[in-house]
A and B are shown apart, each in its own frame.
Chain A
Amino acid sequence: MAANEEHAVSVGAEAKAANAGHGADGPVGPMETFKYDDAIVRKFMGVTVLWALVAFLVGLIVALELIVPVATTYEVAGFRPFAFLAPLSFLVDTKWLTFGRLRPLHTNAAIFAFAGNAIFAAIYYSTQRLCKARMWSDKLSNLHFWGWQLIIVLAALSLPLGLTQGKEYAELIWPIDLLIALVWAGVFGTNYFMTLRVRRERHMYVALWFYAATIITVAMLHVFNSLALPASLTRSYPVYAGVQDAMIQWWYGHNAVAFFLTTPFLGLMYYFMPKAAGRPVYSYRLSIIHFWSLIFIYIWAGPHHLHYTALPAWASTLGMLFSVMLWMPSWGGGINGLLTLRGAWHKLTDDPILKFFVVGVTFYMMSTFEGPMLSIKSVNALSHYTDWTIAHVHAGALGWNGFLAFGMIYWLLPRLYQTPLFSKKLAEWHFWLATLGILLYIIPIYFGGITQGLMWRAFDQTGTLQYPDFVETVMRLMPFYGIRVIGGTLYFLGTILLAYNLVRTWMKRPKVYDEPVYSAPRLLPFADPAAPAFKTRLPDNIGLGKKGDVLVQHITSVWWHRAWEARPAKLAILSFLAVATASALELIPTFLIRSNVPTIASVQPYTPLELGGRDVYISEGCYNCHSQMIRPIWAETKRYGDYSKPGEFVYDRPFQWGSRRLGPDLAREGGLRSNIWHVLHFENPRQTSPQSIMPAYPHLLKDEIVWEEIDRSVLTHAMLGVPYPKEVRDGLSTQLAQTQAKAIADDIVAAGGPAGLENKQVVALIAYLQRLGTDINKPAPAAPAAATPVASTAP
């Protein structure tokens, strides 16, 4: 190392000489001068830190919500050590702040506000420099900035109000979805690709490929997953139902991880890591193979979120295998990042920026090993619906996304504010606090997840569930959840240090920012370089394989890729083809092959009141804690009843299978408990299950059903092809709903419950819950439908 250091020379003159000697850069025109737009980067960087604070704070709140009901009543020797948390009980009791409404706010803020603005800062800073060009349009840059912040504010307002589409990471209602499509593709995409067009650097660096793939793919995912028919300004129903909705949702959901949290951050890494380390990137050829294999393989992996569900087996297999094959393409980026530090590792000791980058990339490599492992079906059988997934995503989000963003911000601060960083020491403190915070977060949650998974499947010697009471498996998590809050707090404190450092550095900024003027020649159109004339390396006396040998030389010399790098449109189209072809191959069969979803004749559309109840279920975000999917696993059918069949979900728009069980599965909740039980349980779950951590929903007993909304829901579903009889569509739905509501309300009164619930939301929700999973045991209607009965009797 020391020897290298002595021999190290600045690249300066040598590099320019090398470039000058290279003729492939093509013809150039007159010199042009330009300035970079750093004001827009400063804006994006500032809001990145602001939204990071919000996202992490909301995360802390939802983490606290899970322990407050239990912790405040926890007693040791007559003493309540956590009684000081009691003032936080309002979090659990306020309808706008319940876990079901705030958890989507946390995930959306972390992904789209924090990580989103971080990648915009990275892209706006590095693209200009890599293209030797200012962003194509300052107007579009600013429209992008303000448009995106508007989206975030609308999200922060609408989610606590219960306005949601009920699909994970795609919760925002349709008008906001339209705005996202407009700002992302129309404004940001146009600005980015036009900047590539007017660039003054002939070839595009690998970071730019990743940015391009990000913009194209996220646009495609967002548009196709959000296709829905509005029922009102704030409600809509997806054009897909049941199994198909699940498939498209996780195609989207998984690739939000791939193309929002991975590819743009890899681009970020490729620019900022060599800059911060002061070393060349390890391997150009590795960057080519891992870029293409990553984007092509990643897009298939979504179904691994749906193992053992009612998804067809072939789709599940595709999801698993492409995840396994994804291991090396993912690691390619990690290797290229870490090996870039060769000869610079000693810099880590006193450079917090490199510390953030190195630990961030290490978390990336851990997560991208763990991801393929979790997607193996038999591993997934244990991990799915448990906190293992939560630990996994936080290792990725806090470790990889967070640390890369923080490293980048510390690197940018002195450059953008044109003054030294206020305090390197605070940055060091931030690093150590955040690292400890991540460990205290993920390690207990790993333990908790695996513990709960094992408890769910534990049998005693008689073949009976060892923990038949679900809440027992939740209570076991409480100590782990407590430690998580400490970890999250440390991570949050670290971010406060960053915010303080940012503000203090900003306060030292010059009165007027220096805007250096750069110059570079304009690029003139040029022809693709001719293919090199390779000769076979095989001796003359070998007759076969000579053409193959030449082909291998062509491929491995990557001259053809070098040519693509000078053609942004070509590269963008090829990237689009890679992700679109893979998507089509996986999605089209799901929609076209009828045997994927065998119909069950007795499964009928929801009644109008049940549909209204379903809207309440979606609005309250019940799917954040309750799944509606019983897997064909013995322990699971023992606990919840017969496993779910694809045909049971044909009227579910959106599907509500969930991804995490903080409460029991509800797929066969119908008829399980009496109506009065549900009323008491919603009023305060502790009335019926003393240890429950579920929020109380007293407002459901007060808020009125809006009958016209139910009417519109029925009409919208009918337009989407749900077979409601004509008289129902023509206005009978309100009357039907009111009759059913009256019957349930009367039953509640007869059982000694409160009167006057016949027009309250709780009745609609109970109607929906009492319907769940019951159709399969009903006799088929008289119509001579060719049913495929797949029901098996309960054990």
Chain B
Amino acid sequence: MSTTNQTTTNRSTMAADEIEIPLGPDGKPIDPLTDHEYDGIREYDNPTPGWWWLIFVITIAFSAFYVVFWHASAYGWSIEESWASAQRRDFIRVFGKVGTLEPTEATILESQNNEQFMTIARATFIGNCAACHASDGGGQVGPNLCDDNFKSVRSVEDIYKAITEGAAAGSMPAWNTRLSQNQRVILAAYVATLRGTTPASPKAPEGDVIPPFPKTPPAGATKPEQQRADAR
């Protein structure tokens, strides 16, 4: 490499500028060349690979089939229809045998016996309520649900009412448009079970001390047929 002759373009640093044509054993280029040359760049006249065409044509044919199947045949279904059937399956799995749960004290208390309901309600609580009440119910922006003091609740039915309509002049939002009635009933049941538990960092009590909620009835005390149906 010469670095002395720098006033002219240093060709020695540009060895790669030269395009070489690899030759086969017969002394000819390995593939036919076109007669094109651009700034020394040459091009072979190779055909487009067959497998390239094959896959390209397959993707086009697939597309044609896809459009017809999903948008112009009786066999396809829409994303919304698929969602609706998932919704139906889910409802039947969870509440299918129960039907509609009424927000009465008896139903709410009975729901506490249903392990599946409580698991679902716990997930609902964590997904929607924990932001203000903390995931263990100890309270944060919203009040502590584990102590004996309550602001707008006097009975388990009031819990349902607070969830449904909101409370504290809107600080507690209304959930009637977001959670179904069944979901709100079992959520009220779950919230009632939090009372008396020990949260990690409890918020100071707010509101008045209220009498204890009625005890959970023994499993199967009422409507035994319903409880059996729920058992998995």
Contacts and interface: CB of A to CB of B under 8 A. Distances in A.
Given A332-B52, A671-B174, A795-B180, A462 B78 contact: no
Contact of A512 (B7, B38, B42, B66): B7
A469 B134 CA distance: 11
Contacts of A777: 177
Residue from B35, B38, B71, B91 with most neighbouring chain A CB atoms (10 Å):
B38
A632 B127 contact: no
A420 interface: yes
A672 interface: yes
A468 interface: yes
B23 A321 contact: no
A795 B21 CA distance: 70
A735 interface: no
A18 B59 contact: no
B193 to A, nearest CB: 16
A274 B83 CA distance: 52
A677 B132 contact: yes
Contacts of B120: 462-464
A558 B178 CA distance: 63
B189 to A, nearest CB: 15
Contacts of A281: 41-44
Given A19-B35, A324-B59, A677-B131, A278 B66 contact: no
Residue from B15, B82, B123 with most neighbouring chain A CB atoms (10 Å):
B123
Contact of B56 (A325, A508, A632, A688): A325
Interface in B73-102: 78-80, 82-84, 86-87, 90-91, 93-94
A632 B79 contact: yes
A462 B46 CA distance: 61
Contacts of A287: 43
Interface string A327-338: 111011001000
Nearest to A16: B37
B9 A462 contact: no
B97 to A, nearest CB: 14
A280 B33 contact: yes
Interface in A167-223: 201, 203, 205
A668 B128 CA distance: 12
Nearest to B23: A7
Contacts of B46: 282-286
B131 A688 contact: yes
B151 to A, nearest CB: 12
Interface string B22-37: 1111010010011111
Contact of B21 (A11, A277, A325, A462): A11
A683 B148 CA distance: 31
Given A282-B44, A325-B56, A335-B49, A130 B39 contact: yes
A462 to B, nearest CB: 5
Nearest to B201: A690
A594 interface: no
Given A274-B41, A516-B9, A10 B52 contact: no
A698 interface: no
A712 B52 CA distance: 56
A333 B19 CA distance: 20
A34 interface: no
Interface string A399-435: 0000000000001001100111100000000000000
B48 A633 contact: no
Contact of B66 (A279, A308, A317): A317
Contacts of B82: 632
A465 B45 CA distance: 59
Contact of B41 (A205, A342, A419): A205
Contacts of A203: 36, 38
B218 interface: no
A427 to B, nearest CB: 14
B20 A793 contact: no
A737 to B, nearest CB: 20
A469 B135 contact: yes
Contacts of A126: 39
A375 B229 CA distance: 44
A641 B178 contact: yes
A537 interface: no
B interface residue count range (under 10 / 10 to 19 / 20 to 34 / 35 or more) = 35 or more
Given A9-B23, A280-B19, A632-B83, A795 B91 contact: yes
Contacts of A277: 16
Given A4-B30, A8-B23, A673-B173, A317 B10 contact: no
A341 to B, nearest CB: 11
A670 to B, nearest CB: 9
Interface string A664-676: 0000100111111
A683 B13 CA distance: 60
A317 B67 contact: yes
B55 interface: yes
A414 B10 contact: yes
A751 B6 contact: no
Contact of A794 (B10, B18, B36, B177): B177
Given A11-B42, A463-B120, A286 B48 contact: yes
Contact of A462 (B27, B44, B119): B119
A82 interface: no
A460 interface: yes
Nearest to B122: A464
B178 A328 contact: no
A464 B122 CA distance: 9
A395 B113 CA distance: 52
Contacts of A668: 178
Nearest to B17: A275
A794 B38 contact: no
B126 A469 contact: yes
A592 to B, nearest CB: 18
Nearest to A516: B9
Contacts of B60: 325
A516 B39 CA distance: 15
B41 A793 contact: no
A658 B131 CA distance: 23
A308 B82 CA distance: 12
A553 to B, nearest CB: 14
Contacts of B94: 462-463
A793 B180 contact: yes
A88 interface: no
B221 to A, nearest CB: 23
B211 interface: no
Given A3-B25, A463-B90, A284 B45 contact: yes
Nearest to B43: A284
Contacts of A639: 127
A402 to B, nearest CB: 21
Nearest to A332: B52
Given A414-B13, A674-B132, A689-B131, A420 B25 contact: no
Nearest to A470: B127
Contact of B71 (A276, A314, A463): A314
A661 to B, nearest CB: 15
7 contacts: A4-B30, A282-B46, A283-B44, A313-B79, A415-B14, A673-B131, A750-B171
Given A632-B82, A677-B131, 15 more contacts: A7-B27, A18-B33, A19-B37, A203-B36, A274-B19, A280-B19, A280-B42, A308-B79, A331-B52, A335-B52, A468-B126, A469-B130, A510-B6, A510-B7, A751-B168
Interface of B: 1, 3, 6-10, 13-25, 27, 30, 33-49, 52, 55-56, 59-60, 62-63, 66-67, 70-71, 78-80, 82-84, 86-87, 90-91, 93-94, 116, 119-120, 122-124, 126-128, 130-132, 135, 140-142, 168-174, 177-180, 183
Interface of A: 3-5, 7-12, 14-15, 18-19, 21-22, 126, 129-130, 132, 201, 203, 205, 271, 274-287, 289, 293, 308, 313-314, 317, 321-322, 324-325, 327-329, 331-332, 335, 342-343, 353, 411, 414-415, 418-421, 460, 462-465, 468-469, 508, 510, 512, 514, 516, 632-634, 637, 639, 641, 643, 668, 671-677, 680, 688-689, 747, 750-751, 777, 792-795
